Amino acid sequence: MTEKVSLTELQLIIRDSLYLALPDYYWVIAEISELKENSAGHCYLELIEKSPEERNVKARVRAIIWSTRYRFLKAFFENGTGETLREGLKILVKTKVEYHELYGLSLIISDIDPAFTIGEMALKRQLVIKKLEQEGVFSMNKDLKIPILPQRIAVISSKNAAGYSDFVNHLNANNFGYVFYTALIESSLQGSETEQGVINALDRIALNSQLFDIVVIIRGGGSQSDLSWFDSYNIAYHVTQFPLPVITGIGHDKDISVTDLVANKSLKTPTAVADFLIESVSGLENEIIEMISDVIDASRIIIEKNRNRIETSAIKLLPLARLMLSHVKGQLSTKIIEINNRGKELIFAATITPANQKSRLSSCVKTFVSEKGTTLQRSNQRLLSGTLNLLETKNMRVKVLESTSLLLNPENVLQRGYSITSMNGRILKDNSQIKEGDTIDTQLYKGSLRSKVVERKRRDGEKENG
Amino acid sequence: MAKREFSFNDAVAEIENILHNIESGDLDIDKLSLEVKRASELIKQCQKKLRSTEEEINSIFKDLT
C-alpha cells in the first residue's frame, strides 16, 4: 500500500489536478433545473442535460454565480431575453471548473449568452405552435364569436395581482354605468406552478361554462418576465379547446406567448381587456340606439304619410260639400223659377174664369138695370116733356107778347149790341148823304163815339167811288 | 256590447268613400250634411289617433334615447 492521506489532502490533490487539467473557460450548454439566491446575493444553480425525449436526466452539475457577477448577469440576461433566470430555461454560460475541498465540484459562471436562450425559447415556441397547427386546434378558440353582451366574466388571475385589481376597478368604473359580473378563479400565473394552475382554473370554469360569457386571463402589473410559461403547450391546448372565448391580458410588451396566439383575443394589459369589454357593450348599445332611432324615423314617416292622407281629405271635404251644395242649389233655384212660372200660369188661368163670370154677371146686371132704368127714365121723360109741352103751349102766348114789347124799346135794342149813327143830330139810315171826312156820332148802349169817315162802302162791301 | 276599436285604416277608407261619393255626385242631398259630419268626425278621430300615436312613440322612446 502506498502512503495514506487525509481527506483534506485528497480533496486538495483533486482540486489541484483539476485546476491543472482544466485551466481554461468552457462555454457550456445546459438547462437550469434549480436556482436559488442566498442572502449574500450569490446564485446557486443546478444544471442538467436531458435526453432528446426529455425524459431522463443524462448529466447534472452544481453551478454558482457569485454575487458581484450575478447582479450584472441577471440584469443583462433579463434585458436580452425578457426572461428572468429560472428553472426550465436553457442557457449558454461561460464556466470554469472549480473544486472545493468542503463543497466539491461546481461550475463558476462568469458570463451568459442571452441570444442562445432566445433562440432556444423561440425554437421551443415554434415547436409548440407547429404541434398545435398539426393537430388542427390552433384557431379553434379564435373561431368562437365573442357574445354580443360579454357581461358575465370568469377571471383567471391571482387575488393579489395588481393586474387583477386594475381590471376589476377599470371595468366597474366605466362611464356608461354598465354592470359586469366577474368571478375570480385563482391560479398562480408565474413560476413552475403556472401551467397546472391555469389548466385547473380552466377546467373549473368549463364545469360551469353556462354561467359565463367569456374567460379572461389576467396577469401583469409588475412582472414583465416569465412570459415563457404561457408558451406551454398544455395551457395553449386547453385554451384552444375551451368552449368560451378566452381573452388574454398577461402583460407583455415585446413578445406574444403561444397562449396569446391561440386565444380569441390578446391584449397587452388587463386595463385594455376591461376597455375592450366596455366597448363591446357600448357598441351594442349604440347599435340599439340606432335601431331605436330607425324605428322612430320609420314611425314618423308612417304617421306623416297618414297625416297627409287625412289632411288632404280634410281639405277636400268642405269645398266638395259646398260645391255639391251649390250645384244642388242651382238645380233647386231652376226648379223654383219653373214652379213659379207654372204656378203663375195656373193662377192666371184660374183667375181668368171667375173674373169673366163676375164681369159677365155684373154687365148683365148693369144691362138689366140700365134697361130697366132707361124705360123708367123714358117714362119719366115722357111725363115731364108732356107736362112741359103743355106748360109751354100755355105760356107761349104770354112770352111772345112780352118779348115783342121788349124788343121795341130802343134801349133794349142798344143793349143787344145795336148802335145809332147820326150826323148833325140826324139819324143816318143811308151812307149816300155822307162824304169822306164827315164827322159822325155813334150812340152805343153805354156812351157814344165821334168818328171821321174814312171810306164809304156799298151794301155788298165793295168800295164805292165818290 | 263592446265598443268596436277605432281602426285608422277603416276610418280613412270611409272618409275617402264619402269624398268619392260627394265628388261623383252620387250622394243624396238629404245625406250630405250627415255624411260631411261623419267625415269630419272621422278626420278628427284620425288626427287624434295620429297625434296620440306620435306621442306614444315619443314617450316609449323618451327614456331610451
Nearest alpha-carbon partner for A303 in B26, B28, B47, B43 = B47
Residues of A in contact with B27 (CB under 8 A): 324
What are the tens digits of pLDDT across the range A127-136? 999 999 999 9
Q: Mind telling me how many Å the CA of A167 is from chain B's nearest CA?
A: 29
User: What is d(CA A115, CA A120) in angstroms, rounded to the nearest whole number?
Assistant: 9
Residue of chain A whose alpha carbon sits nearest to that of B41? A314
Residue among B8, B16, B50 whose CB faces A313 most closely: B16
Q: Which residues of A touch B55 (CB under 8 A)?
A: none
CATH 2.40.50.140 domain position(s) in chain A: 7-112
Res B1 pLDDT > 50: no
> Which residues on neighbouring strands pair with residue A49, listed in sequence order?
A59
Q: pLDDT tier at A407 (50, 70, 90 boundaries)?
A: low
Angle (CA) A279-A282-A288 rounded to 5° is 145
Distance between CA atoms of A310 and B47, rounded to whole angstroms? Answer: 7
Tell me the pLDDT tens digit for each residue of A341-381: 887 887 777 777 766 777 777 776 677 667 666 666 666 66
Reported as a single tens digit per residue, the pLDDT across A65-122 is 999 999 999 999 988 887 888 888 899 999 999 999 999 999 999 999 999 988 888 8
Determine the 3-state secondary structure of A421 from DSSP. Answer: strand
Give every CB contact of residue A450 below 8 A, 6+ residues apart in sequence.
A439, A440, A441, A442
The residue of chain A with its CA nearest to that of B51 is: A303
Sign of CA dihedral A238, A242, A248, A250: negative
- Asked if residues A75 and A40 have their Cβ atoms less than 8 Å apart, the reply is no
Q: How many helices (H) and strands (E) does chain A have?
A: 9, 14
Q: Please say whether the beta carbons of B23 and B32 come within 8 A.
A: no
N- to C-terminal Cα distance for chain B? 41
Mutate which: A313, A329, A335, vs B, most B CBs within 10 A: A313
CA distance A373 to A220: 156
- Residue ranges, comma separated, of all CATH 3.40.50.2300 domains in chain A are 137-284
Closest Cβ–Cβ partner in B8, B58, B64 for A306: B8
Which neighbouring-strand residues pair with A441?
Answer: A422, A450
CA-based nearest residue to A209, from A167, A259, A154, A264: A154
| A236 within 8 A of A262, measured Cβ to Cβ | yes
- Tens of pLDDT, residue by residue over A238-260, are 999 999 999 999 876 666 889 99
Question: CB–CB of A70/A42 below 8 Å?
Answer: yes
Considering CB atoms only, which of B39, B46, B58 is closest to A317?
B39
Mean pLDDT of chain B: 78
Average pLDDT over every residue of A295-308 = 84
Predicted structure pTM score = 0.55
pLDDT for residue A72? 94
* Residue among B8, B12, B22 whose CB faces A320 most closely: B22
C-alpha distances in angstroms, A173 versus A158, A166, A177, A271, B64?
21, 10, 8, 11, 22
Averaged pLDDT, A35-60: 90
How close does chain B come to A323, measured CA to CA in Å? Answer: 9
Q: A232, A241, A225: which is closest to A260 by C-alpha? A: A232
Looking at every residue in chain A, the average pLDDT score rounds to 84
Count the alpha carbons within 13 Å of A455 in the hemisphere toward its beta carbon: 7
Residues of B whose CB is below 8 A from A328: 29, 32
Maximum alpha-carbon separation in chain A: 258
CATH of span A7-112: 2.40.50.140
Contact A321 B54 (CB under 8 A): no
A vs B, Cβ pairs < 8 A, gives 67
| Number of neighbouring beta carbons within 10 Å of residue A267 | 20
Chain A residue whose CA is closest to B38: A317
% of chain A at pLDDT higher than 70: 85
Residues in chain B: 65
Give the side-chain half-sphere CA count within 13 A for A248. Answer: 26
What fold characterizes domain A137-284?
Rossmann fold (3.40.50)
Q: Which positions 31-60 of B are in contact with A (Cβ < 8 Å)?
A: 32, 36, 39-40, 43, 46-47, 50, 53-54, 57-58
Identity of the residue numbered A305: K
CB distance B15 to B42 below 8 Å: yes
What pLDDT score does A45 carry? 95
Residues of A4-32 as b/e, b for ≥16 C-beta within 10 angstroms? eeeeeeebeeebeeeeeeeeeeeebebbb
Residue A406 has pLDDT above 90, yes or no: no
Q: Give residue A61's pLDDT.
A: 95
Give the one of B18, B39, B57 whose C-beta lies nearest to A299's C-beta: B57
SS3 B28: coil
**pLDDT surpassing 90 at residue A396:** no
